[in-house]
Structure 1
Amino acid sequence: MTDDQKDKIIELRKIGIGYRSIAAALDLSRDKVRNFCKAQGLDGYGAELKKKKEDDIYSKEFCKNCGTRINEKPTGGRPKVYCSQKCKRKWEETHPTMYQCVLLLWNRI
């Protein structure tokens, strides 16, 4: 791997491009790109490496329904959006999701 390729990998990872896409663009194997990124501290999902906006940070710290601060310990899972199940249910009641219903009618001969 050349120095130019290393610089390009770092540049592409910082804008959120995945290992496979980088490997295909630079004609390298995905494992080489992944191992280099791990060594540089650029591992994880590409979307997480994008610079976070203040709105994203705000939305992860406060409940989507009531606005109270969520005390969340860092875990490997999905970040919390609501402070409790009660708030989640209340949000879902006031903001119903509309689904399209597709009906299939079969004509019998």
Structure 2
Amino acid sequence: MTEQQKSIIKTLREQNFSYNAIAKAMGVTVATVKSYCQRAGLAGNRKEAFKSQSDTPLELPTFCRCCGKQLIQREKVKHRKFCSDACRVTWWNAHPELVKRRNPHTVKCLCCGKEFTYFGIKQHKFCTHECYIKHRYEGVTCDTETV
């Protein structure tokens, strides 16, 4: 956990936000927030804290999933998750397992015979660009049948 994330958690906890709310806003697990708060002495009874405050609800700030910078959400506009396109691309490249892909196809490469999966409508014949080059310019072909 970075120092910036620690300071954000401390600030939000001092404003009496719950572990769940902080975790959701920062994109980390509840266990991470809870353990940090307990180690830093930020754990406590929130019911007593809310009784002493006014009845006006606080709005939870949101933070960029990549760099942790605070985001300003505007009304009637889609909820932002990233501060910039660069942060968005960086985060999605670092988390490819979270991408929801549709319509997978599994085929064998015409050059090396290795099975590979591709997504989308356009039909793929080669697993990599190198296999395409070998097949195209060197005439390398797999001995087994293709699917």
Greater fraction of residues in helix? 1
TM-score, normalised by the number of residues in structure 2: 0.32
TM-score, normalised by the number of residues in structure 1: 0.43
Q: Determine which structure has more spread, i.e. the larger CA radius of gyration.
A: 2
**Larger RCO, structures 1/2 (Cα 8 Å, 6+ apart):** 1
Greater fraction of residues in strand? 2
